[in-house]
Amino acid sequence: MYIKVRYFGLVYSVTGIYEEEILIEDGYTISRLIKDIVDRFEDLSRLLFLEDGSLNPLYRITVNGRDIEHLDGLETRLSGGDVVALIGPAGG
């Protein structure tokens, strides 16, 4: 199963890509996705997370247009065909 991941704002500035498809397995969560992405783009960790490990409130993560705060947070499960957006503040 594949999902699409889209990067906006400062997140795009770090990744250098707007969109990619990622192969996932059953039980794949936002938490696992973020870990996998941060493993590839280490600078994202300091942007996305505060020192206490919580998500930086300046950044939003959505699944199919819904903020994960209104789903199951970082434990939101993903399914094939989902579209995840990592949205950071606009740079400038």
- Residue-wise pLDDT tens digits, 31-42: 999 999 999 999
Task: Answer yes or no: are the C-beta atoms of 55 and 61 closer than 8 Å.
Answer: yes
Q: Would you place residue 90 in the very low, low, confident or very high pLDDT band (cuts 50, 70, 90)? A: confident
Contacts of residue 83, Cβ cutoff 8 Å, sequence gap at least 6: 3, 4, 5, 6, 63, 64, 65
Contacts of residue 25, Cβ cutoff 8 Å, sequence gap at least 6: 1
Q: Would you place residue 91 in the very low, low, confident or very high pLDDT band (cuts 50, 70, 90)? A: low
Q: Which helix (DSSP H) or strand (DSSP E) does residue 82 occupy?
A: none
Q: Domain-by-domain residue ranges, the chain?
A: 2-87
pLDDT of residue 53: 86
pLDDT of residue 5: 98
What CATH code is assigned to 2-87? 3.10.20.30
List the single range of 17-21, 71-75, 77-81, 88-92 with lowest mean pLDDT. 88-92
